[in-house]
Amino acid sequence: MKHLLSISDLGADGIDEVMRITDSFVEVSERAIPKVPALRGRTVVSLFYEDSTRTRLSFETAAKRLSADTMNFSVSTSSVKKGESLRDTVETIEAMGIDAVVVRHGSSGVPWQVAQWVDASVINGGDGWHEHPTQALLDCYTIRQRLGSLEGRHVAIVGDIKHSRVARSNVLAFTALGAEVTLVAPPTLMPPSLAGWPVTVSHDLDQVLPKVDAVYLLRMQKERMTEALLPSLREYTSGYGLTMARSNLLPEGALIMHPGPMNRGVEIGADVTDLPNTVITKQVANGVAVRMAVLYLLLGSGADLVA
Ligand code: NCD
């Protein structure tokens, strides 16, 4: 595999392979010196046109733990500010000699476009409302780690589905691994059409919560809302926020997940993050190992995995 643009590039077998390799890198991450030489001499660039904390830092950490060199491109301090086009920017970076580029952009499809312009491997770090495959992989890994498998599990994805690339990639990944997915949101935050989505839909969170193995909360993507989709955030919270009271409806052992960044007090109660079944920081920690696995898979060319 050369690029990772969509979860559908992997399919169930590919996701399983990433999970298997991730196991080794979780072990590496727990070592006193969490570093292996697998990608020595390779260069990984992050090209982020949208803000990021977790994705950018964990790709950088992942690359470093594999002994790759990293370059960090920040739009706000680059010649993009002077009007340089995406294509010229990408070709300039590639001219410096790179092996992989992690692309995040506000428009859907940009990573595919970049893949046509460069010889390097392209990883989609989030494109608009479309996909965020490495987030889905780290979420699958986290669920498997805690629940053993996704087969036959029931996951509710709750909140701003309409604007969420995380929801799109997670629906593909969770269902590929045999989970049942229910989307829960007010009608205005659902995509205009769910034709072809292998999901069920509900507008009643209280009724769904007692039946799930994991509840996955999404951030209210205020920056992508160009119209008034909600009467008020308070009203959203009263119907769809995972408050402490609501979390009591969950079966024992059900996981509480969120990709971050959280709007505490909106989609998730400030105190819910401290519950023992909340795995949000575990998701972040697994993100590093999963991204090591993805970089290794794309660039490793048979190098010894964890030596
Ligand atoms: C998400 C993103 O940027 O798509 N964050 C992340 O990568 N962990 C989700 C979000 O912004 O709400």
Nearest atom in ligand 1 to the alpha carbon of residue 50 is 3
Both 118 and 236 in one domain: the answer is: no
Residues 236-268 as b or e (16 or more Cβ within 10 Å = b): bbeebbbbeebbebbeeebbbbbbbebbeebbb
Q: What is the mean pLDDT of residues 74-100?
A: 91
- Residue 154 shares a structural domain with residue 263: yes
The string of pLDDT tens digits covering residues 142-176 is 999 999 999 999 999 999 999 999 999 999 999 99
For residue 142, being part of any structural domain is answered with yes
Three-point CA angle 153, 157, 163, nearest 5°: 150
Clarify whether residues 122 and 144 are in a common domain. no
Which ligand 1 atom minimizes the distance to the CA of 287? 8
Instruction: Please tell me whether residues 176 and 267 are part of one structural domain.
Output: yes
In 3D, which of 142, 135, 49 has the Cα closest to residue 90? 49
Treating both helix axes as pointing N-terminal to C-terminal, what angle do 280-299 and 54-65 enclose, rounded to 10 degrees?
A: 50
In a domain, 113, yes or no: yes
105 Cβ below 6 A of ligand 1: no
pLDDT digits (tens, 9 = 90+) for 10-23: 999 999 999 999 99
Same domain as 265, residue 127: no
Together in a domain, 248 and 187: yes
pLDDT band for position 180 (cuts 50, 70, 90):
very high
Report CA(53)–ligand 1 centroid distance (Å): 9
Distance 218 CA to ligand 1 centre (A): 9
Same domain, 123 and 219: no
Q: What is the pLDDT of residue 306?
A: 67
In a domain, 141, yes or no: yes
Q: Given pLDDT bands bounded at 50, 70 and 90, which one contains residue 228?
A: confident
Strands 154-158 and 121-127: unpaired
The reported pLDDT for the residue numbered 232 is 84
Q: Across the chain, how many H-helices and E-strands are there? A: 10, 9
What pLDDT is stored for residue 224 in this prediction? 82
- With the most atoms of ligand 1 within 8 angstroms of its CB, the residue from 46, 53, 55 to mutate is 55
pLDDT of residue 178: 98
Q: Is the beta carbon of 260 within 6 A of some atom in ligand 1?
A: yes
Cα–Cα distance, 67 to 70 (Å, whole number): 9
Look at residue 246 and tell me whether its pLDDT is greater than 70.
Answer: yes
Which H or E element spans position 121? strand 121-127
Q: For ligand 1, say whether the CB of 259 is within 6 Å of any of its atoms.
A: yes
Do 128 and 138 lie in one domain? The reply is: no
Is ligand 1 within 6 A of the CB of residue 132?
yes
> In the prediction, which pLDDT does 303 show?
65
User: Is the model's pLDDT at 304 over the cut of 80?
Assistant: no
Same-domain pairing of 75 and 200: no
Which comes out higher in pLDDT, residue 218 or 307?
A: 218
Phi and psi at 300, nearest 5°, equal -70, -30
The pLDDT of residue 231: 81
As a whole number, mean pLDDT of residues 279-284 equals 98
pLDDT digits (tens, 9 = 90+) for 50-78: 989 999 999 999 999 999 999 988 888 88
Are residues 138 and 217 both part of a single domain?
yes
The pLDDT score that the predictor gives to residue 302 is 65
Q: Check pLDDT > 80 for residue 301.
A: no
Whether residue 110 is found in the same domain as residue 224: no
Q: Does residue 104's CB lie within 6 angstroms of at least one atom of ligand 1?
A: no
How many whole angstroms from 261 Cα to the centroid of ligand 1? 7
Task: Determine the structural domain holding residue 126 and report its residue range.
Answer: 7-132+284-299
Say how many Å lie between the CA of residue 221 and the centre of ligand 1.
9
For the chain, the average pLDDT equals: 95
Nearest CA to ligand 1 atom 7: 55
- As a whole number, mean pLDDT of residues 18-30 equals 96
Ligand 1 geometric centre to CA of 106 (Å): 12
Mean pLDDT in residue range 179-188: 97
At 307 the pLDDT is: 66
Q: How confident is the model at residue 132 (pLDDT cuts 50, 70, 90)?
A: very high
Measured in Å, residue 141 CA sits from the centre of ligand 1 at 17
Dihedral (CA of 233, 235, 239, 242) sign: positive
Residues 112 and 210 in one domain: no
Q: How many structural domains is the chain composed of?
A: 2
Question: And the tokens for 221?
Answer: 């993507």
